[in-house]
Amino acid sequence: MTQLSIVQKTVTQRWGLLECLKPPAKLYDTEIVQARKHWMTQDVYEHSLEWDFVNFAFCLTMKHPHIDAKVTRIQKCFNSIIYAAFETKLNHMKKKYSGSPIQNSIIKFLFHGTLITAPETIIKSEVGIDPRYAL
């Protein structure tokens, strides 16, 4: 008599917040840099680890009896100038808090919306999100 054994393997996928924030390499291509285009957008594919993370985190912020939120599209916005400033500050913070319990909580994932300012205006800016325009 032949016996059949089925072994279920669990695949663990890792997703890193810092890697998803890094602008794609093509944003640093010579012709793009020469054209002074320091920003770009990229859709996040539904059911990817990144989609699942953002969808879950966003829906947690919308927990309210009168709000039934559903994410229909996620678009990442990259700005190479702002990212360079972020990366410099992050490296400084890592050195400053090296070995400290706070080191693992330096980055906080937040959402920012806009009512009247076009998202492209914010994305193209070399300043980034300006709290003076926050509602």
Structural domains in the chain (count): 1
Quick one: pLDDT at residue 23?
Answer: 84
Domain assignment of residue 9, yes or no? no
Domain assignment of residue 72, yes or no? yes
Cross-strand pairs, 41: 77
Domain assignment of residue 83, yes or no? yes
**What is the C-alpha to C-alpha distance for residues 68 and 121, in angstroms, rounded to an integer?**
29
Q: Which residues form the domain of 68? A: 17-114
Contact between 77 and 24 under an 8 Å Cβ cutoff? The reply is no
**What is the C-alpha to C-alpha distance for residues 99 and 122, in angstroms, rounded to an integer?**
35
Quick one: pLDDT at residue 98?
Answer: 85
Quick one: pLDDT at residue 45?
Answer: 92
Low-confidence ranges of the chain (pLDDT < 70): 1-16, 129-135
Contact between 76 and 20 under an 8 Å Cβ cutoff? The reply is yes
Domain assignment of residue 119, yes or no? no
Quick one: pLDDT at residue 134?
Answer: 53
CA dist 70 to 60, 82, 93, 114, Å?
11, 29, 35, 18
Quick one: pLDDT at residue 116?
Answer: 79
Domain assignment of residue 131, yes or no? no
Domain assignment of residue 8, yes or no? no
Domain assignment of residue 87, yes or no? yes
Quick one: pLDDT at residue 100?
Answer: 81
Listing DSSP states for 60-115 in one string gives HHT-BTTB-------EEEEEHHHHHHHHHHHHHHHHHTTTSGGGGGS--------S
Domain assignment of residue 31, yes or no? yes
